[in-house]
Amino acid sequence: MTAGSPDTEPVHEAGSRPRAGSRALDLLVLGEVNPDVVVRAVDPRPAFGQVERVVDEIALTIGSSSVIFACGAARLGLRVAFVGVVGDDPLGRFMVAAMAERGVDAAAVRVDPAIPTGASVILSAPADRAILTTLGTMPLLRADDVPAGLLARARHVHVGSFFLLEALRPDLPALFARVRARGGTTSLDPNWDPSGEWDRGLRAVLPLTDVFFPNATEAARISGRDNPAEAAGALVAAGARAVAVKLGPDGGLAADSAGRLERVSALAVEPVDTTGAGDSFDAGFLAGMLHGRSLRGCLELAVACGSLSTLGVGGTAAQPTLAEADAALARLDLVTHAPRAPEVPR
């Protein structure tokens, strides 16, 4: 293959490779901050009527789509900073300390003394989960919370849980435009829309988004297309340069504005907890993109990271390093006797 062929062309040229010795950030993450209380069992559903059930495990873990993503990206070796809002309480301090322990710069997280940190209770079965969330400080993140210095240093800006960020959403198109104007790239994970509207400014920001990360259900609700490939195509037509759709146990697919469509199956693993698998998927895809991998290469890394992350309780316990994810892909190639073509440096 030659450089620039459909199988080897990087997802996006801007900032496609890390710069040795640079003080630039690889990723600036803007999003919600909350811990998860994970209740794990074969059937974690509660029974009302004051019935007490015994479950396998209850654990306080790092939560929120955006923070799990940030930790996954740092685990993959990227330089990551985070901007969000927490309350002046033990849950907020737990989250800020946990990010710092995992190599995420959380110095720009704002503490609001008047509002408690949000939290989620996750009822986790091996192949599915239900989530109960109190928002707390989650909707309070504002564009003016983002330090200009961090924004200027970031090669890529990622926003998670778009529909929960009430204060940030109106200003996000202008913020993404600033990133694009200086040659940076952007990505967006919508997560679930509790209002059921599935827009609320999303259509305005899609044309300024380099990678859009819905799961299959979210893609269908936003695009009006039930077929994931058709939904991805419709979202590209709406302006996103690339769309990577998370398909859970079926892996993922990706489409881009060059007309490419790729699909990769999930790794054969026995999941312990699927919490945050989609966020690890996002981190893998963007790590591949920032290292100049092709669309398929980014999707393979995304699926590997999402699959491997399910082997521990909570969203971060089993997140792989880049070497671990690539090793899992290499083992898969040996099993299927279908080695991947080497990627051509640019």
- Find the helix or strand (DSSP H, E) in which 187 lies: strand 185-188
CB 275 within 8 A of CB 200: no
Total count of domains within the chain: 1
pTM of the prediction? 0.88
Q: Answer yes or no: is 329 within a domain.
A: yes
pLDDT at 244 over 80: yes
Give the per-residue pLDDT at 274: 87
Among 75-89, 139-153, 263-277, 284-298, name the one with the lowest average pLDDT. 263-277
Whether residue 17 lies inside any domain: the answer is no
Which H or E run includes 38? strand 35-40
- Residue at 3 is within a domain: no
pLDDT at position 175 is 98
- Which structure tokens are listed for 277? 């698998």
pLDDT over threshold 80, residue 341: no
Pick the closest to residue 140 from 169, 108, 178, 160 (CA basis).
169
Is 345 part of any domain?
A: no
> Is pLDDT at 6 greater than 60 in this prediction?
no
Question: Is residue 12, in this structure, part of any structural domain at all?
Answer: no
pLDDT score, position 272: 87
In three-state secondary structure terms, 297 is helix
Specify if 5 maps to a domain.
Answer: no
pLDDT at 342 (0 to 100):
36
Within-domain flag for 344:
no
CATH number (domain holding residue 105): 3.40.1190.20
The contacts of residue 341 (CB under 8 Å, 6+ apart) are 1, 7, 8
Which pLDDT belongs to residue 344? 33
- Read off the pLDDT band of 206 (50, 70, 90): very high
Whether 294 is in a domain gets the answer yes
Quick: pLDDT tens for 303-313. 999 999 999 98
**Does the pLDDT at position 77 exceed 50?**
yes
290 bridge partner residues: none
pLDDT tens digits along 146-190: 999 999 999 999 999 999 999 999 999 999 999 999 999 999 999
Residue 240 has pLDDT above 70, yes or no: yes
Rounded CA-CA distance 75/90 in Å is 25
**For residue 273, what pLDDT is reported?**
84
d(Cα 138, Cα 115) in Å, to the nearest integer? 10
pLDDT more than 90, % of the chain: 82
| Residue 61: its H or E element | strand 57-62
CA pair distance 121, 104, nearest whole angstrom: 24
Q: Is the pLDDT of residue 144 over 90?
A: yes
Range of the domain at 316: 25-46+56-336
Contact indicator for 117, 34 with CB cutoff of 8 Å = yes
Average pLDDT over the chain reads 90
* pLDDT for 336 beyond 60: no
Q: What is the pLDDT of residue 11?
A: 65
Mean pLDDT of 310-325: 94
Task: Please report the pLDDT score of residue 47 as a whole number.
Answer: 92
Sequence-distant (6+) residues with CB within 8 A of 183 are: 14, 15
Q: Which residue has the higher pLDDT, 229 or 59?
A: 229
H helix or E strand, kind and range, residue 30 = strand 25-30
